[in-house]
Amino acid sequence: MRDLKPRLARITDLNHAAALLEWDQETYMPPGAAESRARQVATLRSLSHELLISEETLTLIDRAKPESEIDQDLIRVVSRDIEKATRVPSSLIAEMARASGLSKGAWQKARQENKFSEFAPHLERILDLSLQHAEALGYEETPYDALLDQYEEGMTTAQVSEVFTSVKSDLVPIVRSISEAPDLSDSAVRGDFPLKKQWDFGLEAVKAMGYDMNHGRQDVSAHPFSTAFSITDVRITTRSDAKFFNPGFFGSLHEAGHAMYEQGIDMQLEGSPLADGTSLGMHESQSRMWENLVGRSRPFWKHYFPRAQQAFESTLGGVDMESFYRSMNAVAPSPIRVEADEVTYNLHIMLRFELEQDMLAGEIKVQDLPEQWNDRMESWLGIRPNDDSEGVLQDIHWSLGAIGYFPTYALGNLMSVQLFNAACDENPNIISEMESGQFDSLLSWLRENVHQYGRRKSANQILKDSTGTTLSSEPWLNYIRTKFGELYGF
């Protein structure tokens, strides 16, 4: 282990240096530096890749004598990383990089001009390469298993399908009931929300939640994200709208949720490939929990509403807390995923999950995709996109070759409620703490049951150990029925 660990630390350092360059690119880099920056990032990433799959690393792993459970986990996880990395021929990796480079440009143009036909041949190529990628990675039941596994290790298509099917069959009627009920006004979250005050108010909340600014910082970027360069440096970015409260505030809570996950990883894992979130779904469960289960709840606003009134006096001075709570939770089916509310969001994901599988299986042709998209959108959400730019062309993911990525967003939503319920069962004081702006019990429970493990446990294992069950749709559906049933009277 004495020789293996420093080697893995060097690989991790290269990845973190690349991540720092990418963070800079999204925050402070002058626009003219894009080309040189892309080259620098590629250099660091390929060096790290070469070091990882080299003979020397393999020999060190063979010779390593684990002295602890952490050592055993480290060897298991790194061996699996290397195996996956070496299964895919470098010619295919290069071909995928070339195709997605071209495809991204074509997608941007197609979206701008609202012309799906410009993007269609590129998507066909991406699908073809994704199938080759899946064959190279290997799978048990369906090629989709291999693609999903890249983002949500250990989950199978069958497991996800079963859970999503149950969500969909209950959720579609719920959305219909909400559409038939009188609209909730969102007027209290619209108005003047000065940017500087949003910045301060958001920071006050994320610091109270437990985001450690001694090991983090917040900056502005076009698309908010969080990123880590070590357990001791996990950053978030935000973007606010001076006329709309939700995106800036809930965006900060969301990214801080991601960041607190990585700040909470056991320091013994620092510098090793284990010091990362275990899957995208588990990562998203953390961001969604703080954003929705905490941030969009009455107990939270019992403490924060008077503060919000002070900060945004001209807009909220004459509003009561209940109107503010209803406003921020108003459900309004939109064709755009990133604007979707808590209720409809998962349907946007399930639409993409089904279409990805149908396309890979050859059951629908790329040329028929817009029609399929719009038809399903209409039958599930009751709305039809006006054009392909707000329909099938809205997301960047497919153009980058990220097939199998979307489900992780919905998995995060489902897991967030399972974990939150387990935390509250064990600590009934979590809700009353929230009412006084305290989050210690919730954060400690997450540190103990989720964060500390990094990649040592899979998402499935974390769920099993901390909630006693596997992935399940029922807790999330119950949460939605209770919260929105009360708001919309169904």
What residues line the site for Zn ion (CB under 5 A)?
287
Cα gap 152→158, rounded to integer Å: 13
Nearer to Zn ion, 278 or 441 (CB): 278
Nearest to 73 by CA among 460, 466, 454: 454
Cα gap 375→453, rounded to integer Å: 43
Task: List the catalytic residues.
Answer: 255
Instruction: Tell me, rounded to whole angstroms, the distance of Cα 201 from its chain centroid.
Output: 24
Nearer to Zn ion, 252 or 287 (CB): 287
What is the number of the residue whose Cβ is closest to Zn ion? 287
Q: 3-state class of 261 per DSSP?
A: helix
- Nearest distance in Å: CB 291, Zn ion: 8
Query: Residues 153, 278: contact at Cβ < 8 Å?
Result: yes
Nearer to Zn ion, 287 or 399 (CB): 287
Nearer to Zn ion, 287 or 372 (CB): 287
- Nearest distance in Å: CB 257, Zn ion: 8
- Nearest distance in Å: CB 284, Zn ion: 5
- Nearest distance in Å: CB 234, Zn ion: 14
Cα gap 283→384, rounded to integer Å: 31
Instruction: Tell me, rounded to whole angstroms, the distance of Cα 228 from its chain centroid.
Output: 15
- Nearest distance in Å: CB 400, Zn ion: 16
